[in-house]
Structure 1
Amino acid sequence: MVLSLVSLCAREVVSDHSSSPCWLKWVPRELYRALLEAAFSSCRPLAVGELVQRWPERTLRVGGRRKPGQTAPNRLCIQSMLLAVVRGLSDQRCSLRVLDLCGLQGDEGGMGDPMGGWSLTVALCTMVVQARAGAQRAHRKEGDRERKRISALERESDLKRERGQRKREEGLKSDHSSNVSERIESSGHMGEEEVSKGVRRKMEMERKRERTVSGLGGSEREAEEKAVDSDVLVHVRADLFVNGRSWERVRTALSTSGPLKLQCRYLRVEEISVSSIRTLLDLLPRRGLLGIDIRYSSLGVAGLAELLPLLSTFPALKSLRLHYCNLDFRRDHPGQSEALRELSQGLARLQELRRLSLTALRLPGQLRVLLSSLPQPLEILELPYLCLSPADLAYLSCSHHASVLQQLDLSENRLDENTLPSIRRLLSQASSSLQHLSLSGCGLTDGLLGLLLPSLEGCSALKSLALALNPLSVAGLMDLVRMAVRMPSLRQLLYPNPLEDYQPGLPELPSSAQLLDWPLDETTDINLTSSQLNRVLIDSGRSDLFLTCDLLNYDKDLID
């Protein structure tokens, strides 16, 4: 990555913190962004704090999609930034009104000590509570100063009255003295009348403002949000990650009114109950939430049916992800048909839903009931470990979602000769829109893959293809790569280790779990397979196509 001259100079400027008093007061506002980026990339938390505390613009965005090779900001820099936001509330030089941290979090324990989603959420909640406490202390100090000022005015008024009364008691009889005394006394009464009028006027204005807010809100919830927003100095937007350890702290921060208001774009919850999820959703503003990700929570069918009507009150909700949430329709439970109907009705209320991810929910034969009720076609559909039946795949290939799908994940759903025609029809329908496809762990043999390759090659927009943990031989892999190099849009291919690279003893048609756990043969040159595949790339001139068998580090988002 080539740095511009401004970036190089900014790195040099922030490298010496002792010189910051010299340049901070002279730097123009147009250079603050370059200096802050240099402070983050060079891990200069003190410089980050000083720049943010004096931020000259109304909006500060830190986060978002990172460039290839760019690491997440250091934990110390993020903490320094959050502390500076609180200090900037009382700094007249700071113009910050919106702090956007969406997409900031990195992987816990990654390179460079980034701050993960859970740690960032806890830090943000702590910042909101601290800002509220600081505002209360400042309010108390201001109240003390106001009381002292009023006390001083009252003492001065008392002294004037005492002087006037003393003069009257001494028996001053002259007309001049009497007139002076009367003027002093009348001025005292006028002052009291003006104070009382000012109090009444202030009370009338407060009542009028309350009536106006309640009248414009339309509902009690909107009226309360508008009344709270009037006291907010900085709106903080972020993606929140909540589990059992942080739930209470997040609830406190979301219900706290003060100078900082926490807003959520994507909410991820893990291992918390349905009632706790409802509490969090009730505390979030209705506008702004784009997605919710629920993981490892025993929702059950009844719990999900209870949440869906609440989710429909968020008009911008585009993404719903449910992973390992204990939904099982394989058993013949009483009331199963009614529960499915309630889920279908709940999904139908999600007018803007574009992404649906269902992992390990065991819904064989029920895909039509769930997806046919959605008012708009899905762009992203992830259905790993769902035990999809041939009827499910047949419905999906003919549904209104097929022609607009951009991402499709069917990993760990067994494919065979019976389901292959539906898959080919589905790929044909999505050939012009599909960009990311995952068929990992689907039991694709050399023969099945050979039948599927023409349909895959017809996907003209495909950027990434994942086929890990499929029982393919070296010959099957060579056919796959020869097809891949003929697809100009393809940028990443995740291929499986060939069967020849494993130690003896594998079944004839091993499962994905067996391929994952079975040891590779140390006597075999594993790099030989990689060299053969890369030779196909070199011969075709496709230096822009990345081949890998590293399942753990594969990331399709790197090419976007």
Structure 2
Amino acid sequence: MAHSLVSLCAREVVSDHSSSPFWLRWVPSELYGPLLEAAFSSCKPLAVGELVQRWPERALRVGGRREHGQAAPNRLCIQALLLAIVKGLSDQRYALQVLDLCGLQRDEGSMGDAMGGWSLTVALCTMVVQARAGAQRLQRREAERERKRFSALERERDVKRERGQWRMGKEASGDESNTDNNDLGGGDRGSTRSNGLRGEDDLTQGVRRRMEIERKRESGVTSGGGDVNSDVLIHVRADLFVNARSLDRVRMALRTLGPLKLQCRYLRVEEISVSSIRTLLDLLPHQGLVGIDVRYSSLGVSGLAELLPLLSAFPSLDSLRLRYCNLDFRRDHPGQGETLRHLSLGLAKLQGLRRLSLATLRLPGQLRVLLSSLPQPLQILELPYMSLKPADLAYLSCSHHASTLQQLDLSENCLDENTLPSIRRLLSQTSSSLQHLSLSGCGLTDGLSGLLLPSLGGCRALKSLALALNPLSRACLIDLVKMAVRMPSLRHLLYPNPLEDYQPGLDDPPSSAQLLDWPLEEVRDINTTSSQLNRVLVDSGRSDLCLTCDYFNYDKDFVD
């Protein structure tokens, strides 16, 4: 990746932290962005903290989409950023008002030292609670200073009152023959008495004011009220990852009233009940939530029917993903028709839905009931491990979603001669819009893929194609690559290891699970396949097309 002169200079500037006191004061505001980017890429947490603590603009966005090969920000840099945000709150000159961390986190267990979604969520919630506690401590210190000031004022008034009484006593014991002086002294005593009365009034007002300030402070600490808790200084936008371990902390942060206000753009929940999901949704503003991802939660049919109406309160919601949620429709299931109607009505209320992912829900033959109720056509549809029937694919190829699909995942659904006409019709309908297609583990043999290749080649907008874990021969793979090089938009092809690369003993035909676990032959055979496929690329001049058989590290999101 080529670096501009500004980025190269920024890397050099942030490389030496000891010199930061000399250059920070002279940096113009428009250079803070390149310097912060250089500090992140060079893993300089101290520089990150100093830049963020002095951030001159109203908004700061860290995260978002990264280019292929660009690493996520280091964990230490993210922690330095969050600490700098809390420190900056004590500076009245701090300009930051919006902190956008959406898209920053990586999946737990990813390569490098990037901060995962769960860790980042916990750190954000801790930052929000600590900021409120710090603001309360500052408020208590200010109240204590105010109390001391009034105490000093009271002591001063007490001293003045005692001095006035002493002067009155001294004048009363003086020369009584000097009537003029006595008259003058009497006038002074009257003046002193009046001053004493005024001092009492001022003292009473001071005590009342102090009691009022103390009462406000106590109400702010106990009930969440008070001036500091009602004024939001920075709105923090992020994607939240909530499970049973972080649920209480997230709820506390969302309820916290303080200088930092946590907002959620994308909510991912794992292994929590519908009632807990309801509680989270009640704490989120209706505007701003664009997606929800529910994983490994035993919703069941009734839980899903309860969840869908709750989502209709979020008008910006355009993505719903349900994975491993323990849904299983069987023919002998009592009340199945009524339950499906409830689910259909719930989906019909999601007016803005554009992405729907239903993974491993086991809903064979029910695709029409679910998708036909959606008011708007989908752009992204993910249906892996759904046990789809020929009737499901036949409906999908003729539905109002077909012509608008940009991403389609049919992985691990069996494709055979009965489903082939529907698949070809579906590819014809999506030929001008489809950009990402996954048919991994669909049982495509040489014969089926040969019949499907012309339809795949007609997808003019296709950028990525995944065909891993299909039992194809090496000759069929060569034909596949020859077809791929004629697709100008295609940038990434995930191909399966050919059957010749596996050790003997596979079934005929083997399943995708067997292909995933079966040992491969020696490396020389794999290199033979790779060299033959790369030769096709070289002969066609397609240096922009990436071929890979690395199923576990394949990521279509890196494709431009």
Q: Does TM-score exceed 0.5, indicating one fold? A: yes
Q: For structure 1, which segment, 543-552 or 104-113, has the greater mean C-alpha deviation from structure 2 after superposition?
A: 104-113
The corresponding residue for 2:2 is 2
Contact kept in structure 2, 1:409 and 1:437, CA below 8 Å: yes
- Offset of residue 166 of structure 1: 5.8
The corresponding residue for 2:244 is 244
Report the secondary structure of 1:25's partner residue: helix
Report the secondary structure of 2:534's partner residue: helix
Report the secondary structure of 1:329's partner residue: coil
The corresponding residue for 2:103 is 103
The corresponding residue for 1:335 is 335
The corresponding residue for 2:86 is 86
Amino acid aligned to 1:149? R
**Is 1:487 matched up with 2:498?**
no
Write the deviation string for residues 214-273 of structure 1: whole angstroms up to 9, x where unpaired.
Answer: xxxxxxxxxx99x99842111111111112222222122122221111111111111122
Report the secondary structure of 1:525's partner residue: helix
Q: Percent identity?
A: 78
Write the deviation string for residues 445-487 of structure 1: whole angstroms up to 9, x where unpaired.
Answer: 1111121112111111110111111111122212211111111
Contact kept in structure 2, 1:55 and 1:93, CA below 8 Å: no
Amino acid aligned to 1:35? L
Provide the C-alpha distance between the structure 1 equivalents of 2:480 and 2:249, rounded to a whole number of angstroms. 51
TM-score using structure 2 length: 0.91
Provide the C-alpha distance between the structure 2 equivalents of 1:440 and 1:109, rounded to a whole number of angstroms. 24
Could you tell me which runs of 5 or more consecutive residues in structure 2 were left unpaired when the two chains were aligned.
173-181, 214-223
The corresponding residue for 1:555 is 555
Amino acid aligned to 2:463? K
**Is 1:22 matched up with 2:22?**
yes
Q: For structure 1, which segment, 185-194 or 58-67, has the greater mean C-alpha deviation from structure 2 after superposition?
A: 185-194
Q: For structure 1, which segment, 496-505 or 385-394, has the greater mean C-alpha deviation from structure 2 after superposition?
A: 496-505
Amino acid aligned to 2:192? S
The corresponding residue for 2:191 is 180
Contact kept in structure 2, 1:501 and 1:524, CA below 8 Å: no
Provide the C-alpha distance between the structure 2 equivalents of 1:228 and 1:549, rounded to a whole number of angstroms. 56
Distance 1:71 1:201, change over 3 A: closer
- Offset of residue 151 of structure 1: 2.2
> How do 1:58-207 residues align onto structure 2 when only pairs under 5 Å count?
58-162=58-162, 173-174=183-184, 176-177=187-188, 180-181=191-192, 184-185=195-196, 187-188=198-199, 191=202
Distance 1:199 1:244, change over 3 A: closer
Provide the C-alpha distance between the structure 2 equivalents of 1:114 and 1:403, rounded to a whole number of angstroms. 38
The corresponding residue for 2:217 is none
Amino acid aligned to 2:389? S
Contact kept in structure 1, 2:139 and 2:228, CA below 8 Å: no
Provide the C-alpha distance between the structure 1 equivalents of 2:208 and 2:18, rounded to a whole number of angstroms. 55
- Offset of residue 186 of structure 1: 6.3
Distance 1:195 1:137, change over 3 A: closer
Q: For structure 1, which segment, 482-491 or 183-192, has the greater mean C-alpha deviation from structure 2 after superposition?
A: 183-192
> How many residues get paired?
541
Report the secondary structure of 1:437's partner residue: strand
Amino acid aligned to 1:249? R
Provide the C-alpha distance between the structure 2 equivalents of 1:195 and 1:344, rounded to a whole number of angstroms. 67
Provide the C-alpha distance between the structure 2 equivalents of 1:116 and 1:361, rounded to a whole number of angstroms. 26
Amino acid aligned to 1:243? N
Write the deviation string for residues 4-45 of structure 1: whole angstroms up to 9, x where unpaired.
Answer: 222222222211111111112222222111111111111111
Provide the C-alpha distance between the structure 2 equivalents of 1:523 and 1:378, rounded to a whole number of angstroms. 43
Provide the C-alpha distance between the structure 2 equivalents of 1:384 and 1:523, rounded to a whole number of angstroms. 31
Q: For structure 1, which segment, 434-443 or 170-179, has the greater mean C-alpha deviation from structure 2 after superposition?
A: 170-179
Report the secondary structure of 2:240's partner residue: strand
Contact kept in structure 2, 1:242 and 1:250, CA below 8 Å: yes
Contact kept in structure 2, 1:54 and 1:91, CA below 8 Å: no
Could you tell me which runs of 5 or more consecutive residues in structure 1 were left unpaired when the two chains were aligned.
203-223
Contact kept in structure 2, 1:101 and 1:238, CA below 8 Å: yes
Provide the C-alpha distance between the structure 1 equivalents of 2:341 and 2:229, rounded to a whole number of angstroms. 39
Provide the C-alpha distance between the structure 1 equivalents of 2:27 and 2:228, rounded to a whole number of angstroms. 35
Q: For structure 1, which segment, 229-238 or 315-324, has the greater mean C-alpha deviation from structure 2 after superposition?
A: 229-238
In terms of Rg, which structure is larger?
2
Provide the C-alpha distance between the structure 2 equivalents of 1:150 and 1:366, rounded to a whole number of angstroms. 75
- Offset of residue 359 of structure 1: 0.5
The corresponding residue for 2:362 is 362
**Is 1:387 matched up with 2:387?**
yes
The corresponding residue for 1:286 is 286
> How do 1:406-485 residues align onto structure 2 when only pairs under 5 Å count?
406-485=406-485
Provide the C-alpha distance between the structure 1 equivalents of 2:229 and 2:133, rounded to a whole number of angstroms. 17
Provide the C-alpha distance between the structure 2 equivalents of 1:411 and 1:251, rounded to a whole number of angstroms. 36
Provide the C-alpha distance between the structure 2 equivalents of 1:420 and 1:330, rounded to a whole number of angstroms. 25
Provide the C-alpha distance between the structure 2 equivalents of 1:60 and 1:477, rounded to a whole number of angstroms. 47
Provide the C-alpha distance between the structure 1 equivalents of 2:446 and 2:422, rounded to a whole number of angstroms. 19
Amino acid aligned to 1:180? S
The corresponding residue for 1:210 is none
Provide the C-alpha distance between the structure 1 equivalents of 2:368 and 2:65, rounded to a whole number of angstroms. 35
Contact kept in structure 2, 1:125 and 1:250, CA below 8 Å: yes
Provide the C-alpha distance between the structure 1 equivalents of 2:69 and 2:387, rounded to a whole number of angstroms. 37
The corresponding residue for 1:313 is 313
- Offset of residue 180 of structure 1: 3.0
**Is 1:344 matched up with 2:355?**
no
Distance 1:228 1:53, change over 3 A: closer
- Offset of residue 181 of structure 1: 3.4
The corresponding residue for 1:212 is none
- Offset of residue 496 of structure 1: 0.9
Report the secondary structure of 2:26's partner residue: coil
TM-score using structure 1 length: 0.91
Contact kept in structure 1, 2:242 and 2:250, CA below 8 Å: yes
Report the secondary structure of 1:115's partner residue: coil
Q: For structure 1, which segment, 152-161 or 162-171, has the greater mean C-alpha deviation from structure 2 after superposition?
A: 162-171
CA RMSD, aligned part only? 2.6
Contact kept in structure 2, 1:411 and 1:438, CA below 8 Å: yes
Provide the C-alpha distance between the structure 2 equivalents of 1:101 and 1:130, rounded to a whole number of angstroms. 18
